[in-house]
Amino acid sequence: MQNDGHVKHLNVHLSLCELPSREIELSDGEVHIWFGILDLSASEICEFERILTKDELMRCGRLHFLEDRKRFIARYGTLRKILSYYLNVKPSELRFKQTENGKPEIAEPCGMSTIDFNVSHSQGAVLFAFAQNRKIGVDLEYVHTIPEMEYVVEQCFAENEKRIYRELPNDKKTDVFFQYWTLKESLLKGIGVGLTRPLDMLDVSSVGSNVKTLRISERDTGAAFHWSLRTLKLGRDYAGALAMQKI
């Protein structure tokens, strides 16, 4: 049986006062989406900083700009806080590991957890996804004009995507570019291969706001046939996408 599950948007801001204070239920096959802005108050940043590990704080300290360090703390602190609600553990007790290709996962002492999660951030915003008993991936991008857009299209888009992009009026091209890009990257993050696989092998031109099975070009290995994609509505300034393993 194949099921696309229920996708639930839970929050539009990551302020501590708006986060729940009790355990959240994540049903089997369900996907929860959290989207928010990382520019939190000084007191919230301090509270999140206290629950990070020494390794996370060292990584944070290597960042050059103060704004980036604050956003790093907000991102990892919020991730720990939300996961603590799902798993009913203290945020500071969570430990993470990475797969061979760098995808983060929950490690001991919660290694028996069946929750999969993925995170993406861009230009002061963050997107989290959590699922029970299914693999997921998300991507978030700040929508803006980039000088190399035409070059990226030629190098990374499938032939049908290129055709659609070329036929668009100029005022629509940027939005479609980021729609396609986030769909592609969310899938590769979900599979756990990142950008190690060429993006032009994935044709996402048929994917919209509803869950649809991805159409794959002939060069794909076949692994992606077991995934579904959808775009996410996150406001005018951001493009987002979710990839879900079909169950």
198 and 99 belong to one structural domain: no
125 and 148 belong to one structural domain: no
Contact residues for 77 (Cβ-Cβ < 8 A; gap 6+): 45, 47, 48, 49, 51, 52, 91
153 and 112 belong to one structural domain: no
86 in any annotated domain:
yes
Count the domains in the chain.
Answer: 2
Condensed to tens digits (0 to 9), the pLDDT of residues 88-139 reads 889 999 999 887 777 888 886 665 578 999 999 999 999 999 998 888 999 9
Determine the pLDDT at residue 210: 47
94 in any annotated domain:
yes
112 and 163 belong to one structural domain: no
Please report, for the domain that includes residue 124, its CATH number: 3.90.470.20
Contact residues for 23 (Cβ-Cβ < 8 A; gap 6+): 85, 86, 88
92 and 145 belong to one structural domain: no
**Structural domain span for residue 85:** 7-134
172 and 214 belong to one structural domain: yes
pTM of the model: 0.87
Contact residues for 185 (Cβ-Cβ < 8 A; gap 6+): 137, 139, 195, 199, 241
Least confident stretch, 17-21, 74-78, 241-245: 17-21
CB 84 within 8 A of CB 78: no
Determine the pLDDT at residue 218: 41
2 in any annotated domain:
no
128 and 157 belong to one structural domain: no
Determine the pLDDT at residue 196: 58
Q: Calculate mean pLDDT across residues 145-161.
A: 93
